[in-house]
Amino acid sequence: MLPTDSTQAVGGAAGTRSDCTICYSAYDLARHLPRRLYCGHTFCQTCVRQLDTLVHQQRWIPCPQCRQSTPTPRGGVAMLDLDLAAFLAVKAEREPQPPTPLKGGATTQQPAALSCPTLGPQPHFPSSPRCCWGCGGLCWDSWGHPEA
């Protein structure tokens, strides 16, 4: 007999599967996108397309687990919500991981002149001649330099 708990945890989320329970294909970012029905059950987009049926002049997707019907959105199965937890887990597997921080407390220096790629170079604002602690400049001498 098969074990009763056959769910495969994705990204540490309990109850989230990494494969479709109908075709047993692993979710991916193309044909097997994880689509969530209104009842909360998730299946791959390919299987959900096959479940889409016409009943009384309207398209419905019956859930094979609980039999609750989900109305097919106007744009078709591709307009159903993604199972975000499963989708992000698949996406994280496909994308390169960011570099891990350096051990031993070492820090890296950023370049002196940073520019934002979308906004271009950032303006440089001169520092204020007053102190920023709200003391009204009492900690600054009359020439605008901090007292030693």
Residue 28 pLDDT greater than 50, yes or no: yes
Overall average pLDDT of the 42-46 stretch = 94
Structural domains of the chain in order of their starting residue, each with its CATH number = 8-97 (3.30.40.10)
Alpha helices in the chain (DSSP H): 45-51, 84-94
pLDDT score recorded for residue 142: 52
Overall average pLDDT of the 6-32 stretch = 70
Give Cα separations from 1 to 6, 52, 64 (angstroms).
12, 32, 22
92, two tokens: 């994280």
pLDDT score recorded for residue 91: 87
Q: How far is CA 128 from the centre of its chain?
A: 41
80 or 139: which carries more pLDDT confidence? 80
Longest dimension (CA), the chain: 87
Average pLDDT score, the chain: 74
Residue 85 pLDDT greater than 60, yes or no: yes
Is the pTM higher than 0.75?
no
